[in-house]
């Protein structure tokens, strides 16, 4: 069965620190990859997505993610976090195989200390 693993459940960083959140998936075919973010008290919203092309994708608020097919990974990065990045981050995978089911990871709670 398809699955998505987010290895870090809770991350605490100081402002200006660099961030990398891991995401690995299990599916051998073509995939669409997403990172969603949920800020406190807000809806889940899209941070960035990868469908095809350049494996390094840039999203909102200075976030980027790199798709490494050989590692089945789609890690999220930001060079310098801000207090306002405090949120929960979810990686999601859609297997581009005729099914439109999305598999989400369990999420990573990021807390940025001012």
Contact 92, 4 (CB under 8 A): yes
Side-chain-side CA neighbours of residue 66 (13 Å): 7
The contact mask relative to another protein for 38-77 (x = CB under 8 A, - = no) is -----xxxx--x----------------------------
- Token output for 64: 């980027």
Is residue 99 part of the contact set for another protein (CB under 8 A)? yes
**Which residue, 50 or 112, is less far from another protein as judged by CB?**
50
**Which residue, 100 or 114, is less far from another protein as judged by CB?**
100
Side-chain-side CA neighbours of residue 64 (13 Å): 11
Considering CB under 8 A, how many residues would be counted as binding another protein? 23
């Amino acid at each position: 069965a398809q699955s998505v693993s987010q290895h870090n459940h809770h991350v605490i960083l100081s402002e200006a620190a660099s961030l990398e959140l891991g995401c690995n998936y299990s599916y051998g075919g073509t995939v669409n990859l997403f990172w969603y973010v949920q800020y406190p008290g807000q809806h889940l919203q899209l941070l960035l997505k990868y469908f095809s092309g350049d494996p390094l994708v840039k999203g909102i608020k200075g976030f980027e993610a790199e798709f490494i097919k050989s590692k089945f990974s789609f890690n999220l990065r930001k060079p310098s976090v801000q207090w306002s990045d405090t949120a929960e981050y979810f990686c999601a995978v859609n297997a581009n195989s005729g099914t439109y089911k999305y598999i989400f990871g369990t999420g990573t709670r990021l807390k940025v200390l001012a």
